[in-house]
Structure formats: C-alpha cells, structure tokens
Amino acid sequence: MTDGSYDAKDIQVLGGLSAVRKRPAMYIGSTGLRGLHHIVEEAVDNSIDEALAGFCTQIDITIHKNGFITVTDNGRGIPVDIHPKFNITALEVVMTKLHAGGKFDKKIYKVSGGLHGVGISCTNALSKSLIVEVKRNSTLYRQEYSQGQPVTGLQEVGQATGTGTSISFLPDNEIFQDTVFHYDTLSSRFRELAFLNKGVKITLKDERTGNEDIFKYDGGIIEFVEYLNRNKTTLHKPIYFFKEKEGLSIEIALQYNDGYQENVFSFANNINTVEGGTHLSGFKTALTRTLNSYAERMKLKDVKLTSEDVREGLTSVLSVKIAEPQFEGQTKTKLGNSDVKGIVDSIVSSTLSAFLEENPSIARVVVEKSINAANAREAARKAREMTRRKTALSTGLLPGKLADCSVRDPAKAEIYLVEGDSAGGSCKMGRNKEFQAILPLRGKILNVEKARLHKIFENEEISTLITAIGCGIGDEFDVSRIRYHKVILTCDADTDGNHITTLLLTLFYRFMNEVIKRGYLYIAMPPLYKITKGKILRYAQTDAEKESILKEIGSDVVIQRYKGLGEMNPEQLWQTTMDPAVRTLKQVTIEDAVKADEIFTLLMGDQVEPRKKFIEEHALEVTSLDI
C-alpha cells in the first residue's frame, strides 16, 4: 500500500509524443485489430494500476454505437493541478507527453503494468477524438483532445461525488485498418484481469448488441484455474499459495486433470508473459525437483521424473508483482529479471514441499500422474524407435508419399497437406514443383487431444506428416528444423473436410504450437462454386460471393457446387487454390490462448455434456449444413 497523496509533482516526464502517430506499430504492436484493442487495454491498465495501489475497486468499459469506447474507474482521478516543470495541468502532461506518469516513482505506484508511461498518451495520440473527465476535489473536470492535441482547456463542468477518471475515445481511421471493436477479444482480456486482481469488479457493456459481462472473482487465480479446468476431469482441489520475498510477491494456483496437455499461464504485473521468462523457469525447476524429492522419500518410483512428466495434465496460473520488471523477447512479453528465478524457485520449493507433506492423498495422486507420464514417455521413445526402423526416418529419407519441391530454403518453400489421394494427385500435377510440396493424407487422423505421444507415433499418417515437415514432435521438437514456412491445410469444404481440418489444427496446437506462433500454418480456401456463362468463368468461395457474381453476369448460368477437391482438375486447382497470385489463404493465429485451449478441450476432449451444450447454443449460427 502506498500513501494516498498523488499530485502534479508526482508526474515525471521522459520525452515527447510526436513519434507515436508517425510510427504507431512501434508503440502498440500493429495498426490492425491487435493494436486497436491494445489502446483500450492501455486505458484500462491505468485503472488497474490504481487498483494495484489500493485505490480502485470498479472499472466499467462501454462500447458505444458511434464507435467510441469509454473506460471509467473509481480511483483517485488523474491530478489536475499545475505541473511545476511544464506549467500546464498534470492531466495534460499525462495525456500529451510520452513517458509521463506516476509509475516511475515507487511512492505512487509500488508496482504497475504501465511501466513506461506511454499508455494513455498513445491512446490519445491515435484517437480522432478523446474526452477525459476527472472527479477530484468534489469537482468534475473535463478536457477534449484530437489526435493527441488539446482541443479545449481543462474545464470545471460541475460538482462531483467521489473520485475517478473516465476516458472516452474514437480510434483514428487514418491510423487503424479497422476501427470496429471485437467484444470477445475485449471480454477475454478483462476476464483475465479480473482473475488476476481479485475483488476488482470489471464490467463490459456493448451498446451495439446489448451484450454485457460482469467480471469479479473474490477467489482470484484459484477461480482462474477452476475456470480453465471446468470442462476437464480434475484430480484434486486447486493448490494455492501467496508469498512475498525481497520485494517480489508471488501467487500460484495449480490443479491437475486427467488429460495429457500442459496449460500453464504466467503473468508479471498483470502482463501475460506468453514467452515465459525467469519467473516461469523458477516455477518449473522447483516443481520438478520437489515432486522428485517427495516421490523418492515415499519410495513411489524408480524412474527420474522430467519437467515434462510433472507438467502433464497440469493447469496452473503463476502471477508475480515486481517493482522494476525487465521485459524482453520478440513481443516484450518475456520477463528477464535474473534474480526472480531464484526467488520463485525458493518459494515454490518450500511451500509446495510443506503442502505435499500435509496433504499426502493429493501428493500421491499428483506423483502417480507424473509417474504414468514418465512411463508413457518411455513407451513413446520405444514407439519412435520402432517407427524409425519401419520407415525412412532412420536413413534420413523423406516419405514416399511426399512430392517434395526443389527449393531448399524453408522461407521460399510451402507444403500442401491434402485430404485424400485423389485430390493429392491433382495437386501434384497442378503445383509449381519449384516451391510447392504435396503430401496426401488418407482419411481422418488420430484425435491427439485424447492420446499420449506413443499412440501418436503409432499412427502412420501423423508420423508421415511429422517427418515431412521436419521439426519433430514432443521432446525432439525444434521449429528451426522446419522445412517449409507455409504449411497449408487443404481439405474439402464439407463436414468430413472440416473435421479433418479440426483434427490437424488440434495436432499443431497441442504438439507443434510454435509453428502457429511463428505464422507458418495456413488453411487453403478452395472455391465452393464454379459459375459459367458462355465464355465467362468465375469461382466463388461463399454463397454471398456466388450471389454477387450472379447479379453481375446474370442468373442464367451454369452453377457447379464442388463437393470436394477431387472434382477439380489440376489446372483448376492451380487457378483457384494454389497460384500465389490469386489464391486465398487463411493464416492460423492464436489471439487468445485461454479461449483456444477452452475450444480444443470442448470440441475434441472426452467430456460429452459441455460439447452438447455448445452445439445446442450455437446451432442457429450454422450457415452451411452438409446433409
């Protein structure tokens, strides 16, 4: 807890704002949807920082019909007195100066997510219009901005009860490719923030649709873990502890389920450290050592558990709060503070060891789960060796089914994973052999959501696919060995084709996740219709596109509905699906890891009731039914 004083003198400035509009991606990551939602998060982060400091209990976000979005909190309110250095209000300093805020002085914010002070000034700079209202000193203050510049001075517009800040802004369409906010994207992030800041109430309302959510979790990350595991069969109640040591606060909740997937999320000052870092390394090291030590003392095993063994079926949330975090990595979402690893390791080791001693029944369940994983790992090793002896793996040769390309630079090479031998044959004849490889897949592959590695290695189609792509799987996975920087899933546009695509996506998401993160995975979009009228030939990928073409050329046409890729000859496949100049590819990305895990568990896991409920809720949204 900090002291309650918060005035103009507490606002420090490290630079100006002029570069933000010139190079927005440097500050918010992109000018696409990711950047659009990031500027909302920056405004909300200011409110969260007030909550971390103990002065804010409620944050309300409203998406308006006119394109504006409003973020309101009941914190102390941004200071409005005159800044001693700049001779303008502290509010204007915060809104117009880059690297300005109360985050640099640890008397004001002990910890914060917005550590560089660029947040709300970036939001302001990239908004066509922004209105800020502050409640302080029993007065309501208001000021308007446009593209980062003040349009009005600070105005006293009435009396106010309580304190707080409200910011309404309209993203600038000169900057952003799309200015339409996505409710689901925002709700996922705000749910996450509510879990991480227990007791803080976050509301999200969409005036466009009437959607509304209220997020408030008094159980914090315990409820987060239960939420993540809600469609899984859990083995025990969540294990939770909170400790403070050497200026670091660490909060951990973990719970095992009977599945085979690891689901560990780490955060530093509410920032999702998707690339991990020193806090996650300390946790993993301590978890492995502690479970090994307990198993040895109890004489429960005669094999050494690896880090992968003890994380099979683990769902965990690790949240640290630190005064001076150092972020690194490609997306600045990897914690780099070297001292954090040892502190987390020490806390987890001592606390978890004590818990296991005091809860022997849970300890036994967890250790036996890890031992089963170790046995499965050994079975997978034997299955892998057996596969190598039976196939070309041991000689380094590629599968005979693969029609490889001639180029050897992965950045220039692409592979089509094609449903069926017939379509695969057409693709082989229609491709550009220089940079396009073809691998036909026969039938539906194994659902890896319900399988351990040894079962995967026993599946011929998956083994062939893994060999062709080149980066391995499991503990041998190395994305730098990938042979193609475009891996293109190419399936029929029917129920079976969609199912096969989903099975393949499950394989990549669960066992070759880095392929998706690097942007190497795509889905081909072959046409649904061929439309001919005289010498006119057009293709349509959707019903809407078909109707548009019919309006353009007339409705007295011959329309052919493609049921599968095999109905197209090689020339048509090249013209519609494989020619880089005209084809449409969907790039597979992971926008929200929590949501992605939830969907894969729901659709591909072994819990029937949640899947049935999902189907019932979304049945009316089906646009094409294959009967």
Residues carrying an active site annotation: 419, 492, 494, 496
- Residue 266 CA to chain centroid, in angstroms? 12
Strand partners, 328: 334
Report CA torsion sign: 109, 111, 113, 116. Answer: positive
From 75, 103, 61, 317, select the one nearest 196 (Cα to Cα): 317
Q: Which two tokens stand for residue 623?
A: 């646009």
In the numeric block, the tokens 């209105």 are attached to: 131
**Angstrom distance (rounded) from CA 586 to CA 583:** 10
In the numeric block, the tokens 């692409």 are attached to: 414
Buried b (16+ CB within 10 A) or exposed e, 431-463: beeebbbbbbbeeebbbbbebbbbbbbbbebbb
Strand partners, 71: 61, 167
**Angstrom distance (rounded) from CA 341 to CA 343:** 6
From 206, 215, 210, select the one nearest 183 (Cα to Cα): 206
Identity at 347, one-letter amino acid code: I
Phi and psi at 207, nearest 5°, equal -70, -15
In the numeric block, the tokens 């036996």 are attached to: 368
In the numeric block, the tokens 């400091």 are attached to: 53
**Angstrom distance (rounded) from CA 310 to CA 287:** 7
Strand partners, 587: 522
Report the largest interatomic distance among the alpha carbons of the chain, rounded to a whole angstrom.
82
Q: Which two tokens stand for residue 25?
A: 């991606």
- In terms of C-beta distances under 8 Å and separation of at least 24 residues, what long-range contacts does 470-478 make, across chains too? 471/512, 471/515, 473/511, 473/512, 474/380, 474/511, 475/306, 475/308, 475/377, 476/384, 477/511, 477/512, 477/514
Residues in CB range of 273: below 8 A, 6 or more apart: 266, 267, 279, 280, 327, 333, 334, 335
Strand partners, 263: 315
DSSP code string of 435-477: TEEEEEE-SPPP-GGG--HHHHHT-HHHHHHHHHH-S-SGGG-
From 39, 51, 57, select the one nearest 111 (Cα to Cα): 51
Rama region for 45: left / alpha / beta (φ>0; ψ in -120 to 50; rest): alpha
**Angstrom distance (rounded) from CA 232 to CA 259:** 8
**Angstrom distance (rounded) from CA 425 to CA 238:** 52
Q: Which two tokens stand for residue 242?
A: 């909170």
From 353, 331, 206, select the one nearest 271 (Cα to Cα): 331
